[in-house]
Amino acid sequence: MSLVLDPVAQDLLFREARTANTFTDEQVTDEQVQAIYDLVKYGPTAFNQTPLRVVLVRSEEARARLLPHMSEGNRAKTGTAPLVAILAADNEFHEELPRLLPHFPQAKDVFFSERSTRESNAGMNSALQAAYFIVGVRAAGLAAGPMTGFDFAGVQKEFLDDDHTPLMIVNIGRPGEDASLPRLPRLDYDDVVTTV
Amino acid sequence: MSLVLDPVAQDLLFREARTANTFTDEQVTDEQVQAIYDLVKYGPTAFNQTPLRVVLVRSEEARARLLPHMSEGNRAKTGTAPLVAILAADNEFHEELPRLLPHFPQAKDVFFSERSTRESNAGMNSALQAAYFIVGVRAAGLAAGPMTGFDFAGVQKEFLDDDHTPLMIVNIGRPGEDASLPRLPRLDYDDVVTTV
């Protein structure tokens, strides 16, 4: 009752949405991914740095290069998902800052001249954007299957470069049969929130 | 067109939602925070580790302890926001795993025996949950003002402990006058997404 978001939307994005491990054959189109991006690109990041980058693994050739890097438990679902997205952090995001933060273009040099600072910022802020992306996949009526069980160095070498760090890989599609495990428990409010 | 989420919800959560820098006097109740948590707690994390912890700064005494740690540009808004939340990562989240992952309680020891592994996991997954939390604040019809401009070590010492790392501080309330800067640019789809 304290939420103004429509209950149907609450269910779509959080309450009924589930991580999917199997998918139907229905394709995920570029138009859907573009619509997802055009929604979630507005999610806030520090200094508007928006360091998330996405590699869509569409061709059979690319998928064949990806599968050996997946952990055994993730290989079958990544092999059959209609679309697979590698989410990565751009550690050189500061090069775009003059365009993203036009009222303070000096931020590029004042705050982000050190690579280690950029890496920690890109890690945290691309994770925020990964969460927005997962919410966006659900907003498109699709299921996401986010995974961190893969060889990060191998995926970086195969699909990215030294400036881009893998964050997670997300299977995307419509849920198939027995797509999800039973909902796991969550912590109680009082375990998570304290008031001072 | 490619999204099934109601356009009103799209606007509420992303398109019209803005980071707020000023707020009205209207209070943010514990019931609202509980409703936000009860929605966004379902957002996915790796191994269901859900490492995010939240400290609500409610008392004037606590706020007075917080303000000196805020960067100068954040002090006024944090001083006047109806509610301020410190979001932190619990680096000892694995202690809760037997309860959170009942079908694989060994995960606690198999994957998370090393503190450094826990810290990197807690950092990434609490950032995912921070993004869900921001979306949840908006789902409650409120504005969030997430900030990383503060003395992290000072806030940790004052409000947390060695096992909890600050992630961001979020001002929460209804937007006041001139609450937001003009919307900043975003990267184009083709700058962010590549297909292989």
Across residues B45-65, what is the average pLDDT?
98
Backbone angles phi, psi at B43, to 5 degrees: -60, 140
Tokens, residue B33: 């925070």
CATH code of residue B117: 3.40.109.10
Q: Quick one: pLDDT band at residue A64, thresholds 50, 70, 90?
A: very high
Number of domains forming the structure of chain A: 1
A68: tokens are: 């050996």
- Interface predicted TM-score (ipTM): 0.98
Mean pLDDT across the stretch A96-121?
A: 95
Does A97 have pLDDT greater than 90?
yes
A184 pLDDT band (50/70/90 cuts)?
Answer: very high
Residue B196 maps to a domain: no
Residues of A in contact with B146 (CB under 8 A): 44, 46
What is the rounded average pLDDT for all residues in chain B? 97
Question: For chain A, what is the largest distance between any 2 Cα atoms, rounded to a whole number of angstroms?
Answer: 55
* Domain annotation covers residue A101: yes
The whole-angstrom separation of Cα B148 and Cα B130 is 12
- pLDDT of B116-143, one tens digit each? 999 999 999 999 999 999 999 999 999 9
Nearest Cα of chain B lies from the Cα of A96 at a distance, in angstroms, of: 9
Whether residue B59 is contained in a domain is answered as yes
| A187 lies in some domain | no
The answer to whether residue B107 sits within a structural domain is yes
Pick the closest to residue A53 from A120, A126, A117 (CA basis).
A126
User: Which residues in chain A touch residue B6, judged by CB atoms under 8 angstroms apart?
Assistant: 6, 8-9
Mean pLDDT for chain A overall: 97
Q: pLDDT tens for residues B61-106?
A: 999 999 999 999 999 999 999 999 999 999 999 999 999 999 998 9
Hey, what are B117's tokens?
Answer: 């592994």
- Report how far residue B174's alpha carbon sits from residue B81's, in angstroms, rounded to the nearest whole number: 9
Domain span at residue B18? 7-175
Assess contact for B14 and A42: CB atoms under 8 A: yes
The answer to whether residue A148 is domain-embedded is yes
pLDDT of residue B47: 96
A20 pLDDT band (50/70/90 cuts)?
Answer: very high
Query: Residue B164 is which amino acid?
Result: H
Query: Is the pLDDT score of A82 beyond 90?
Result: yes
Q: Work out the number of other CB atoms within 10 angstroms of the CB of residue A51.
A: 30
Does the residue A195 lie in any domain? no
Report pLDDT digits (tens) over B1-21: 699 999 999 999 999 999 999
Nearest to B37 among A43, A185, A192 (CB): A192
Which chain A positions have a beta carbon within 8 Å of B5's beta carbon?
9, 12-13, 39, 138-140
